[in-house]
Amino acid sequence: MTKKVLVLPGDGIGPEIIAEAVKVLNVVNQRFDLGIELSEGLLGGAAVDATGLPLPESTLEAAKQADAILLGAVGGPKWDKVETAKRPERGLLGIRSGLKLFANLRPAILYPQLAHASTLKPEVVSGLDILIVRELTGGIYFGQPRGIRTLENGEKEGFNTYVYSESEIRRIAHVAFSLARQRSSRVCSIDKSNVLEVTVLWRDVMEEVAKEYPDVELSHMYVDNAAMQLVRAPKQFDVLVTGNMFGDILSDEAAMLTGSIGMLPSASLDINNKGMYEPCHGSAPDIAGQGIANPLATILSAAMMLRYTFNEGSAADAIEKAVSDVLDQNLRTADIWSEGMQKVGTQAMGDAVVAALQQ
């Protein structure tokens, strides 16, 4: 059966890193006879420039028709001044909510070869393997009302609404508990229930769902402490489950534990494991066009796609092993480079992964 994959390169380094992931996908497609068919679409600033909208109807339709989506990154200074509703980032949020991709998995795994690339001491991060489960279609990112209004005294006021329903919390809890069962069976739920009612409910629902998973240990932590603990002793965690905004922030922090944000892949899944796969980082305008971005987070996102949406674990394993082989060859993009290593650009890194796959 053919597997339809929509590729959305996006902006900035997006097209550069996507080109490398596509090379890798083409190779595993042949080697494992996966029947993947790729097509390409417009999202983000690229779509704003071409159509005036960050998420054209044709892109949303193609995304709905596809079995999986591979995304680069969107956004950049060129579009920072456009009205909020037309910002490139709104295209990304629109596709997440339009496809009901509520479960965002962000695995922070330290490749042992990169223990010295992290800004933390090697003993703090070596052996790190944590999974952030971020709720992706609710919370303050989507809550209504939102906007900027003018008060009677003429002053402006900006406002957003942090809201979660029980059912939204329950379904992300089930994802976290089920995934924990395949790991070390520990879930730490991150909230701010000492201040925010919405997360008092979050904590209550986590407790309730935990009863269905007596073999999984549930603990709770306030988000400010969690941010600190992630850099103090990150290996205490197994699965972290949290809301949309806390998950966004904590996952960038966790990325640095793995050496670079250029190493952190992600899967955004709906209830049937249809998914969109993208690196956790953005369009990196500061290095776009220079051919130096790290394509590994995007390549590893393609591996997650094979594992989660297509159930092709062996093909996913092969990609992850090829990435490890390339690190064994001491090849490093600038973001993960350290003394004694060979510095390579985006394309050379992609080519090396392809070569390792063909060994």
Q: Residue for token digits 């003993």?
A: 123
Q: Which is nearer to ligand NAD, 138 or 282 (CB)?
A: 282
Q: Which of 141, 164, 277, 308 is catalytic?
A: 141
Does 135 engage in binding with Mn ion (CB under 5 A)?
no
Spatial strand order in the sheet of 36-40? 36-40, 3-10, 68-73, 275-277, 267-269, 103-109, 129-135, 239-242, 186-191, 217-222
- List the one residue from 24, 42, 46, 74 that touches ligand NAD (CB under 6 A): 74
Return the one option of Mn ion, ligand IPM, ligand NAD, none that residue 155 interacts with (CB less than 5 to 8 A, by type). Answer: none
Stretch that binds ligand IPM, among 13-21, 87-95, 234-242, 307-315 (CB under 6 A): 87-95
Number of residues that bind Mn ion (CB under 5 A): 1
What is the maximum alpha-carbon separation in the chain? 70
Stretch that binds ligand IPM, among 89-97, 194-202, 204-212, 303-311 (CB under 6 A): 89-97
CA angle, 171 then 191 then 141, to 5°: 65
Distance of closest approach, residue 261 Cβ to ligand NAD, in angstroms: 5
Does 257 engage in binding with ligand IPM (CB under 6 A)?
no
Residue 281: what residue type?
A: H
Q: Is 224 a catalytic residue?
A: yes
Orientation angle between helical segments 88-98 and 57-65, nearest 10 degrees: 40
Does 248 engage in binding with Mn ion (CB under 5 A)?
yes
Q: Is 192 a catalytic residue?
A: yes
Q: Is 248 a catalytic residue?
A: yes
Stretch that binds ligand IPM, among 4-12, 32-40, 85-93, 330-338 (CB under 6 A): 85-93
Question: Distance between CA 281 and CA 246 in Å, rounded?
Answer: 16
- List the one residue from 75, 94, 138, 234 that touches ligand NAD (CB under 6 A): 75
Beta bridge partners of 39: 6
Q: Which residues make Cβ contacts (< 8 Å) with residue 228, sequence separation at least 6?
A: none
Please indicate if the annotation marks 90 as binding a ligand: no
Return the one option of Mn ion, ligand NAD, ligand IPM, none that residue 285 interacts with (CB less than 5 to 8 A, by type). Answer: ligand NAD
Q: Which residues make Cβ contacts (< 8 Å) with residue 195, sequence separation at least 6?
A: none
Asked whether 263 and 294 are in contact (CB, 8 A), the reply is yes
- List the one residue from 46, 261, 303, 352 that touches ligand NAD (CB under 6 A): 261
Nearest to 103 by CA among 32, 175, 151: 175
Label the pairing between strands 239-242 and 186-191.
parallel
Please indicate if the annotation marks 45 as binding a ligand: no
Q: Interface with ligand NAD by CB under 6 A: which residues?
A: 13, 17, 73-76, 89, 92, 261-262, 278, 281-287, 293-294, 297, 335
Residue numbers belonging to the annotated binding site for substrate: 96, 106, 134, 224
Catalytic residues: 141, 192, 224, 248, 252
Residue numbers belonging to the annotated binding site: 76-89, 96, 106, 134, 224, 248, 252, 282-294
